[in-house]
Amino acid sequence: MSAKILSGTVVRDVRIIELIKKFKAILPAPKLAIIRVGNRSDSTAYIGAKMAFAKKVGVTACHIHLDENINQQKIIDEIEKCNRDESIKGIIVQLPLPIGINRDVVINTIDPRKDIDGLTATNIELLTLGRPNAVVPATARGVIELLNFYNIQIKDKKITVVGRSQLVGKPIAQILLNKGAHITVAHSKTIDLVTETRGADIIITAVGKPNLITVDHVSKDQIIIDVGISRDGELDVKTGKNKLVGDVDFDSVEQVLGEGGAITPVPGGVGPMTVLCLFENLADII
């Protein structure tokens, strides 16, 4: 028997109903500023998804598109304008920023009260301290809400997080630690990664390296959350693009897990949860 599929699309479609109700009760409709620097194609796709979701839930999204060659101070000036604008309740700076721009300086210009990505130093500190008012980065929140929706226990479980980025790996590990899990943080070059993953109850991988997690890395009845995403799959004849794939060799790993295990697909797993949780963060801070 195959493993249970943990669909983020299903969770999103259930939770969006409540989110629409929340935003409908907020008058005037809240505004979200999305600040983008440059013309990366992946940023175009991500921003398009956020703009579409904003429209669906009743949020006014404003896309501020800045030239790739703009200097850092002008980016900061734009953020400070949004900080002062009382109609703007949330601010996103689309990452990554161009080379030569100090990401931390730019992000920390955002008013922490409008930081729905949860990336300012203020929110990172609150998360580290386990404070309930911390804004949790959307992907990390999405992972936790996905586990909760499918009634997967976190407390006292052995969880290996593969990936240590500030955006995903570290905040996920911190939240799980706060919730009483036993955490191991690994990465793509960890010596004997197989041992670190095979002994876990839950594997959460967020590296962006196709086929990093194979049948050698997993055991029967495990839960696997695949956050990694890249376009290294076979060519999709409909779109002319390579298909999206995760860190996990899905087809073979799914069979090893068996009916007692569970796994997220890519796409359709954590991705839909990330956009949902970004707007749940916005609703929570208003």
Catalytically active residues, by annotation = 50, 94, 117
DSSP 195-233: HHHHT-SEEEE-S--TT-B-GGG--TT-EEEE---BS-S
How far is the CA of 234 from the CAs of 69, 213, 231, 241, in angstroms? 34, 18, 9, 8
Cβ count near 252 (within 10 Å): 12
Is residue 282 within 8 A of residue 50, CB to CB? The reply is no
Burial of residue 218 (number of CB atoms within 10 Å: 0-12, 13-18, 19+): buried
Q: List Cβ neighbours of 131 (8 Å cut-off, separation of 6 or more).
A: none
Of 54, 63, 64, 65, which Cα lies nearest the Cα of 30? Answer: 54
Residue with tokens 């309740």, as numbered in its chain: 89
Looking at residue 56, the DSSP 8-state letter turns out to be H
Helix (H, G, I), strand (E, B) or coil at 15: helix
Burial of residue 179 (number of CB atoms within 10 Å: 0-12, 13-18, 19+): middle
Q: Which helix (H) or strand (E) covers residue 77, if one does? A: helix 72-84
Distance from C-alpha of 57 to C-alpha of 285, rounded to nearest angstrom: 16
